[in-house]
Structure 1
């Protein structure tokens, strides 16, 4: 008898990174295959990722200091699709992310949703410093290095406006931190200072420095700022943040609990260090403090306390991570309503049964009321994903009890006609979903499993593929302000 020959399915992914200084695009092909064998429950996994196209590095188009040029970005993307030989309809998954200081622009939300509609059926439209740091760590090679070596490794992704730090040990994210550190926080025109970002203005005032607009780009305070940024990064890595560093923190302080052993730099400032892109055409020129910041980092004595690991990608780390590392594949034993897909940017509410079905069912209604208060407090009909965790082993009668309870609590929503969105920790998605339909649920039902998700995450669920699985992206969706 011939051996089992699993079939492969290919999907196209796009990653688009709209950063403070630059915009990049990457096109990839994922190969999916049933890795469980013919006699087992199907388990579809991504078995291969191939990069089909890397765009040149473009300067991010802005209308003014506070507004992204949406049409300008769209023209870049469409031109790169043409060069790559693909159409927007070919793209089945991927990420549009707005990173760094660009995420503080007044139309940041508008642009990600516009692009996810107009240039491809993207599952994710996300921005936020923690997510950006995580994606960059995967694109730079930090994640793989930490996984292989077991060393606590920090990726420091520094672009035009922010430094996004993500710390990994093996495959576990230990923590993140984001700083106002980047090349374009001071910009020049005709050898004079043209702009100084608000955090740097605060730092100059705090340190009694005199740099102001119109000063020469050789002003000694510029080296002071670059050196201060480098010193501040060392204190963040060592978790020795001082009061004077707080002006550069964007959000929370470093929150990892194990000492960092190795570091990797990515982003545009890393490119100034390693010059991996030196032979590739680019319209980017440096009229900012990027090179000075790179030099300060390379000459900082305290940074030599950590082992430096050269990144696999510098300026393209975030877009590579966005295009190749954000997509997961659901289990094959699922129940979906094809007409309701894709579903985008839906918050997750985690409900744990703690191994006790009856106790869990008794408290489910109160927890759903809490979820509604959290996610739909203005009674606008914001739906949410209910993640059912820590169920005990259940039989069919138990599944029927669970289905009846879900139908009852979903009526508590302000818009109970919305689809019921469920994620199961165990492989019960198909039987639960079909049981809900057999009980004549008036709502559509989307019930999936084999996805790692947590309370407070956001989810995107894509259209069902030929292999009857769905691509899923789990993320923290945060638009930060400066």
Structure 2
């Protein structure tokens, strides 16, 4: 990073726009070049300090299917103001649109507007699986899975969904999302104001009746919260009942190992742990959030797991994006110059565990999971595959790997998009040239010498006249105690 010396600290913003709430955190990161003087620079965050935490705002919506973009911009501008920060001082950051907000009609328009306004930000819509991973990193579950050696499930419950992400040794084992959240039944003046469609179907299936206008303490309401807590326990044990399907959003639980430890994060966990007691949030009392938190705390099936308290509850979200810039020699990699620059390409890590044969067996599943993570709406969000722990590759092995890459990349929702590969070992040139020799229809971008993991994003800049290609890695960063 040529200008690193003047960048000992940077200011980063994290903006989270969810189904129910929007929040903003401004942080200062300290950076250090951890590579030796002769190596490719590698900048790491050595310290994080929170400069400003916004209150938790209700997400501004124009109507049920449209985000109020001007309303969101107004929140961001006034919060920058309160923090005493000019937008020009913020050098990096992340805007993450999650929950049902990510499926709103104008979510992509919102992304473009915010990325223009926010400068060099990572701006992304997170489908439920990615949202679960982000929450697990923010709540401490991800770190805990590395320290404890246990299988840790993070259950992030907000207004509309419960996102479960299961980790062991910081490796994602699987995910699951359910229609379980505080705002699925809302009240006004002691009576029921709204009932979400999944809850209405659940009540109908179970022979309960609940109408708008019924009293807030109707027996059907406590049935729903008790049922939701039971359903969470069944998902965690992978004992899904037929009647639970109505609450499933997408696929069933797909992890193979048994869960040891559970961590709750999100707005509902705030009702369980009361971390943010200094903030008066009257909005909490006009829905089933508090009852749902109570039902989870009292559920006997959930007591079979070890409970771990989260580091963050309602703010198990992004502090911002720390960036590290690496300059890679264009001579050792394969890039299609006309495709550059590329911005905010998400990374999906696939570990070959030093064995090409067994690695290729699950390679296709990995690409499908990457599509599920980053392109849940099948809109054509491309991603980069990070291939780690490849064994020694002979000529035939490289051919075999290249053919497998082409075959499964042709199964993406938009198969004509560039094939973007990041290789941990220095195989970028040989794999890139082998792919080119197969006359694939896609452009090839194949780089190595950078350290990334699932959930990171990269920018690949235009090749400079010196033949160097600048690569920026953006890592979402979270609060750690």
TM-score grouping bracket, smaller chain normalisation: 0.7 to 0.9
Per mean C-alpha deviation after superposition, the further-off stretch among 294-303 and 342-351 is 342-351
Equivalent positions of 1:151-300 (< 5 A) are: 151-280=150-279, 282=281, 284-300=283-299
Q: CA deviation at 1:206?
A: 0.8
Which residue of 2 is the match for residue 58 of structure 1? 57
The answer as to whether partners of 1:20 and 1:60 remain within 8 angstroms in 2 is: yes
Matched, 1:358 2:387: no
Q: CA deviation at 1:54?
A: 1.0
Equivalent positions of 1:311-322 (< 5 A) are: 311-318=310-317, 322=318
Q: 1:70 to 1:42 in 2, by over 3 A?
A: closer
Secondary structure at the counterpart of residue 250 of structure 1 = coil
Equivalent positions of 1:454-465 (< 5 A) are: 459-461=457-459
Which residue of 1 is the match for residue 451 of structure 2? 450
Distance in 1 (CA, whole Å) between partners of 2:282 and 2:77 is 18
- For normalisation by structure 1, the TM-score amounts to 0.78
Q: 1:267 to 1:92 in 2, by over 3 A?
A: same
Q: CA deviation at 1:280?
A: 2.6
Which residue of 2 is the match for residue 139 of structure 1? 138
Give CA-to-partner distance per residue, 1:335-366, whole Å, 9 cap, x none. 598x9546134323578986435335656875
Give CA-to-partner distance per residue, 1:418-470, whole Å, 9 cap, x none. xx53232xx3xxxxxxxxxxxxxxxxxxxxx22346xxx89441779xxx974
Equivalent positions of 1:125-136 (< 5 A) are: 125-136=124-135
Per mean C-alpha deviation after superposition, the further-off stretch among 155-164 and 93-102 is 93-102
Secondary structure at the counterpart of residue 123 of structure 1 = strand
Q: 1:128 to 1:207 in 2, by over 3 A?
A: same
The answer as to whether partners of 2:284 and 2:290 remain within 8 angstroms in 1 is: no
Secondary structure at the counterpart of residue 46 of structure 1 = strand
Q: CA deviation at 1:297?
A: 1.1
Q: CA deviation at 1:83?
A: 1.9
Q: CA deviation at 1:37?
A: 3.3
Which residue of 2 is the match for residue 344 of structure 1? 344
The answer as to whether partners of 1:123 and 1:462 remain within 8 angstroms in 2 is: no
Which residue of 2 is the match for residue 430 of structure 1? none
The answer as to whether partners of 1:355 and 1:391 remain within 8 angstroms in 2 is: no
Per mean C-alpha deviation after superposition, the further-off stretch among 80-89 and 32-41 is 32-41
Distance in 1 (CA, whole Å) between partners of 2:175 and 2:405 is 30
Q: CA deviation at 1:131?
A: 1.0
Distance in 2 (CA, whole Å) between partners of 1:228 and 1:237 is 14
Which residue of 1 is the match for residue 420 of structure 2? 385
Per mean C-alpha deviation after superposition, the further-off stretch among 351-360 and 277-286 is 351-360
Equivalent positions of 1:297-316 (< 5 A) are: 297-316=296-315
- For normalisation by structure 2, the TM-score amounts to 0.78
Which residue of 2 is the match for residue 26 of structure 1? 25
The answer as to whether partners of 1:6 and 1:37 remain within 8 angstroms in 2 is: no
Which residue of 2 is the match for residue 446 of structure 1? none
Matched, 1:412 2:441: yes
Q: CA deviation at 1:407?
A: 5.7
Per mean C-alpha deviation after superposition, the further-off stretch among 92-101 and 280-289 is 280-289
Equivalent positions of 1:317-336 (< 5 A) are: 317-318=316-317, 322-324=318-320, 327=322, 329=324, 331=326, 333-335=328-330
The answer as to whether partners of 1:6 and 1:35 remain within 8 angstroms in 2 is: no
Which residue of 1 is the match for residue 445 of structure 2? 421
Which residue of 1 is the match for residue 93 of structure 2? 94
Distance in 1 (CA, whole Å) between partners of 2:35 and 2:426 is 24
Backbone CA RMSD of aligned residues:
3.4
Secondary structure at the counterpart of residue 270 of structure 1 = helix
Larger radius of gyration: 1
Q: 1:200 to 1:30 in 2, by over 3 A?
A: same
Q: 1:24 to 1:377 in 2, by over 3 A?
A: closer
Q: CA deviation at 1:9?
A: 3.0
The answer as to whether partners of 1:27 and 1:323 remain within 8 angstroms in 2 is: yes
Distance in 2 (CA, whole Å) between partners of 1:410 and 1:71 is 47
Q: 1:179 to 1:328 in 2, by over 3 A?
A: farther
User: Which runs of 5 or more structure 1 residues have no equivalent in the other structure?
Assistant: 428-448, 476-482
Q: 1:334 to 1:161 in 2, by over 3 A?
A: farther
The answer as to whether partners of 1:88 and 1:121 remain within 8 angstroms in 2 is: no
Distance in 1 (CA, whole Å) between partners of 2:128 and 2:387 is 27
Q: CA deviation at 1:13?
A: 2.3
Q: CA deviation at 1:391?
A: 6.4
Secondary structure at the counterpart of residue 49 of structure 1 = strand
Distance in 2 (CA, whole Å) between partners of 1:354 and 1:150 is 25
